[in-house]
Amino acid sequence: MLKEMLVQFLISLLPVFAFQLWSNRGKGWNGVPAFLSLFSGVSVILCMLVSFKFNEYEMNFRMIPYLIGSLYGGPYAVLGLSAVYTIFRIPTLGSTTEVIFFIAFMAAYIPIMLFLYKPFQRSPRHKKQRIVMFLMTIILLYFIITIAYHSFEHHIAWSNQVVLSIALSIIGSLASIWISIFVIESLKENQQLQYEVHRVSVNHRREVEKLQQFIDETTFGAIIVNHHGRITHINETGYRLFHKRANISDRKEIVGKYYSAFLHADHQANDIQLLQEALKGTKTSLEPLMEDGRMLVKTAFSIRNLTSGAITGAALIAQDVTELNLLRNEVGRMERLSLVGQMAASITHEIRNPMAVIRGFVQLMKERMPGEQQHYFRIIMEELDRANAIISDFLSLAQNRALAMEMSSLHEIISEMAPLLDADANMRGQSIELELCEYIPPLMLNNKEIKQLLLNLARNGMEAMGDKGVLRMKTDYVQEEERIELRIQDHGVGIPQEQMQHLFEPFYTTKTRGTGLGLPLCLSIAERHNGKIEVESKEGEGTTFIVSFNRSA
């Protein structure tokens, strides 16, 4: 009997063994309810097929897999296992009493399992064990009552051996059900733990990849070393800023080497010292210094374990601030120029008053002097007028006053200026050609300033050409971009490339009597009208000034 009981015990654990194989293959929880239900059904059938007789009553551990499959499989498992159990149990029912007991059991068992399924699934392991042990105890009491009634009905007396067998069956059943729950829940927890570890690992890997991409794409040069001093990562900027050795041509070759093998001991002693101090726990930084024509700011700091605070590595960061320093110097220069410009504007404004007085007295003296000296007075007055024009241009450039603008047509302004420009061109033996597009929308313009811009650019073009030169003025409207273009093209000597970048700098001129204020003034006018000026030039072929006005700005 002990042999048969041991076989029943092992068969009742078949779902647990099968689930362990499932778990070892790394399968998730999906599909486990159906899997346990299937093997529970197989276990129920095998238990019933190898039953042993006890006082003419069939004894087996069929209820253990039946209960396990019902609690883990869900409603469909309850109904399916109940159908299997009923099919194999009915042929073994020997009397009406047993049929009544069976019907009563099934009538109670199925609703209870359907009711307990969800609460059981939501319960922790220790509570699940209590639920199962309680249910198993009730089932065992039911079978003890059934066996007792069967023995009473057939007048079978209970001996000590019978009592011992029943006790062993109870202990074996409780042990089997407890082991089943313990193993299944342990494996389930292990699966959840593995899933959580995998999820954390994936998230950690993603964060590491993000951090690595950030380090690689940042404009800072970075070298990261572990606590042994081996380089674990270096970005492209760091390779470019720190690379001094010709024998290491690939950035990937640097990873894994000691930083002392990468950094040059003679030329990068400061970098080596920074990393050494950082590995000791000191955060250090250097003042901006020049290296190979670049200004660098370097900082080294320790990398620590957030839990223990132990030093796990260090990082050396270098920032190229060359452009920032140049920009800072340029801003300072512009501020000084702005201050000088404001002072000069105030001074030149006051100069115009005594110049007007001087011109008046010169004109009076001219009227009283003999005719042979009139030429000198005319030269003095022309120079005074020229000085006054320079002051007017300078004031226009220096002052940032609000303009009175109105909706105007650029074509109308060009048409108004055409006679004046034609006359100026005729005096030089030149001609002007106008190519105006069919339609051009109106713009918010200050007519006086636009006329000044046209006059300055046109005269620049005329001065660059010789006799019989042709100055072309062309307009175009780019409807998709709502941009109006004015092109003023000459066929003069062109502008050398080295002068192109200085064209719009105040006081820069290549003319003998030039002031260097004409083009800066034109650029200032264009910018005040939401426009810009571009220059295309080829030496010996001519120059084109392109003034663009953006209507959508």
Amino acid at 178: W
pLDDT digits (tens, 9 = 90+) for 424-478: 888 888 888 888 888 888 888 888 888 888 888 888 888 888 888 888 999 998 8
pLDDT digits (tens, 9 = 90+) for 472-519: 999 998 888 888 899 999 888 888 887 877 777 766 676 656 666 678
Residue 350 pLDDT level (bands cut at 50, 70, 90): low
**Kindly report the CA angle at 203 between 198 and 206, in degrees rounded to 5?**
125
**How far apart are alpha carbons 128 and 486 in whole angstroms?**
86
pLDDT digits (tens, 9 = 90+) for 142-164: 887 877 776 776 666 666 666 77
Q: Residue 479 has what DSSP assignment?
A: T
Residue 1 pLDDT level (bands cut at 50, 70, 90): low
Bridge partners of residue 52, in order along the sequence: 59
* Residue among 256, 211, 257, 216 at smallest CA distance from 239: 216
pLDDT of residue 99: 85
Q: 260 exposed, middle or buried (CB, 10 Å; 0-12, 13-18, 19+)?
A: middle
* DSSP helix/strand/coil, 220: coil
Query: What would the mean pLDDT of 171-199 be, rounded to a whole number?
Result: 84
Query: What would the mean pLDDT of 277-303 be, rounded to a whole number?
Result: 76
Q: Which stretch of 27-31, 454-458, 531-535 has the lowest confidence by average pLDDT? A: 27-31
Q: Has residue 393 got a pLDDT over 60?
A: no
Place of tokens 């209590």: 130
Q: Has residue 274 got a pLDDT over 60?
A: yes
Average pLDDT over all residues of the chain? 79
Q: 73: part of which helix (H) or strand (E)?
A: helix 63-73
Between these two residues, 521 and 542, which has the higher pLDDT value?
Answer: 542
Between these two residues, 95 and 544, which has the higher pLDDT value?
Answer: 544
pLDDT of residue 246: 46
Q: Residue 154 has what DSSP assignment?
A: T
Query: What would the mean pLDDT of 105-122 be, rounded to a whole number?
Result: 88
pLDDT digits (tens, 9 = 90+) for 232-244: 888 777 777 776 5
Per-range mean pLDDT, top range of 35-39, 262-266, 368-372, 403-407:
35-39
pLDDT digits (tens, 9 = 90+) for 54-77: 656 567 788 888 888 888 888 888
Residue 394 pLDDT level (bands cut at 50, 70, 90): low
Q: Which stretch of 42-46, 118-122, 149-153, 273-277 has the lowest confidence by average pLDDT? A: 149-153
Q: Residue 482 has what DSSP assignment?
A: T
The b/e string for 76-106 (b: 16+ C-beta within 10 A; e otherwise) is: ebbebbbebbeebbeeeeeeeebeebbeebe
Q: Which stretch of 73-82, 308-317, 390-399, 516-525 has the lowest confidence by average pLDDT? A: 390-399
* Residue among 528, 531, 529 at smallest CA distance from 547: 531
